[in-house]
A and B are shown apart, each in its own frame.
Chain A
């Protein structure tokens, strides 16, 4: 009998059944139910169901992050409704304006742990896989159903395995790995599937880098994505967690529908061209492309290592195009301030924003003008993503984005680091 994948084990656990196979349909009770600025709309659907109370107020986390501080009266009303809802229902975890982006905050707060399951009303809930958790996105009506019943049906996905070997060169990061993988897989290779990473290449990635991989597998269609948790992850969680956990690992003889291998040693910095995250080229192919705005932040690349990378590039430099830097959380911002990173970035000409999503999805704080080109550390560059349809977005690592900000054209960071 073949072994089990991570997804098979995690969903069996979340459904309280002894075993599960790909294709099974299970009623899953997640350990955490995650939502954000969309929570007012979810609460409206919840009221329409006729349910009186949420079943697991202690399992619900709501983060105000997508448009913070509120840019318009309507956004402010939306936040006010969410606060009132949280008070009425006794929801345990509300994270206020400025605390950070939901995916980052739940890790920092120790709210999701290895082997656990989080369902989120956000497509990047795959992010939680960096801790060895099962994270999948759902819609708003489904989140209302989860609040009301504590359960949701899930099909146990087929799985693909991605094995990473080797070590990245200087100036090359997990973002470049993720873009390179997306280029190889295309936008649908992981559709309805669990993406399970393996290999000795993972150990060389810092804890700040690792989330980029499961986060961006959403762009290949993944239902969830998983990194096997190691001692570094356990040590990160130790001072944060408030409950015990049991990490889950796929069996050596688990069945995968596809197997991919990537070698990290020879990888160069990568750039995704507008308007698809998987339209990727080595940075050397797009050097010289003018940009009017550079943006460093988001759940993909707004952590301390990302800001460190930017500071390393920008120390003693002066940017020639707008540079917006938005830390992924208050914890990141504070650490960056203490290390002198914010000093370096501000001195180089960066504008620093309140922790949150910033302009990633076109709400506020750095929306480009029509015709302007942005290079961003985010995960998506679809048409209109940053607020206006005719403003192309390139995606890259913080090294590439910071180096590009110096010249106002896409630049190979290895030249600046040399």
Chain B
């Protein structure tokens, strides 16, 4: 399947405090409420204008700082389909997998695109294509890919506990 996606492009070291501010972290739990604050302190245009299927294309160390998982779920609830970055902070990377949101490492792609540009995700070929080129999606270890394939860690656990495994 090949799908076309609109890009939101950001720089290096975007931290979770600006992706989802800490001041909301213990009081908001509804997906719509959480999505409404996505990227609030970095890009106030994002939350009101993001559309389902849009993708984030960022620089190095996307999602550094606090472990807060809402920095992933806020984007997921806002409809973001993929996050591409030059590199990810480690807890953020894990949170993406666990939320079933594919994190893709393509160094420097953010410097070739602007917000509003489109890219193509080819699932069968395992590539991302832009006007500038075709980039392979790096494979994940099989045990990690299995979590993504299950739709995230929660669905995986649900399957296990519903089947009554130990």
Contacts and interface: CB of A to CB of B under 8 A. Distances in A.
Given A187-B13, A389-B18, 10 more contacts: A25-B143, A37-B26, A44-B29, A45-B154, A137-B91, A144-B157, A145-B153, A221-B64, A384-B21, A387-B22
Interface stretch (B49-57, B92-100, B116-124, B126-134): B92-100
Nearest to A72: B27
Interface in B26-67: 26-27, 29, 40-42, 60-61, 64-67
Contacts of A4: none
Contacts of A140: 67-69
Contact of B90 (A78, A122, A153, A223): A223
B74 to A, nearest CB: 13
B87 interface: yes
B61 A188 contact: yes
A362 B161 contact: no
A362 B90 CA distance: 23
A141 B98 contact: yes
B21 A50 contact: no
B157 A191 contact: no
Contact of A383 (B23, B26, B41, B158): B41
B110 interface: no
Interface residues of A, number: 50
A148 B154 CA distance: 11
A99 interface: no
Contacts of A187: 13, 61, 64
Contact of B23 (A41, A276, A387): A387
Contacts of B65: 123, 380, 382
A264 to B, nearest CB: 27
Contacts of B89: 191, 221
Interface in A33-47: 37-38, 40-41, 44-45
A82 to B, nearest CB: 10
A387 B89 CA distance: 22
Given A121-B67, A142-B94, A50 B17 contact: no
Interface residues of B, number: 42
B26 A123 contact: no
Contact of A361 (B22, B42, B60): B22
B41 A75 contact: no
Interface in A124-153: 137-142, 144-145, 148-149, 153
B69 A380 contact: no
B98 A382 contact: no
Contact of A384 (B17, B91, B144): B17
A177 to B, nearest CB: 21
A75 B27 contact: yes
A385 interface: yes
A382 B161 contact: no
Nearest to A125: B67
A139 B67 CA distance: 6
Contacts of B98: 139, 141-142
A66 B42 CA distance: 24
A384 B26 contact: no
A412 B18 CA distance: 31
Contacts of B27: 72, 74-75, 78
Interface in B77-110: 87, 89-91, 94-95, 98-99
Interface of A: 25, 37-38, 40-41, 44-45, 48-51, 66-67, 72, 74-75, 78, 121-123, 137-142, 144-145, 148-149, 153, 155, 187-188, 191-192, 219, 221, 223, 276, 361-363, 380, 382-385, 387, 389
Nearest to B165: A149
A221 B61 contact: yes
A390 to B, nearest CB: 9
B60 to A, nearest CB: 6
Contact of B158 (A41, A48, A153, A385): A48
B145 to A, nearest CB: 12
B22 A139 contact: no
Nearest to A154: B94
A75 B67 contact: no
B32 to A, nearest CB: 16
B141 interface: yes
Contacts of A78: 26-27
A259 to B, nearest CB: 21
Nearest to B44: A389
Contacts of B90: 191-192, 221, 223
B153 A142 contact: yes
A192 B90 CA distance: 6
Contacts of A191: 61, 87, 89-90
B111 interface: no
In the complex, which of the residues B22, B40, B41, B144 has the most CB atoms of chain A within 10 Å of its own CB atom?
B22
A185 to B, nearest CB: 12
Contacts of A145: 153, 157
For the complex of A and B, 4 pairs with smallest distance between CB atoms? A50-B161, A384-B41, A361-B22, A49-B157
In the complex, which of the residues A122, A123, A141, A145 has the most CB atoms of chain B within 10 Å of its own CB atom?
A141
Given A67-B26, A363-B23, A383 B157 contact: no
Contacts of B66: 123, 361, 380
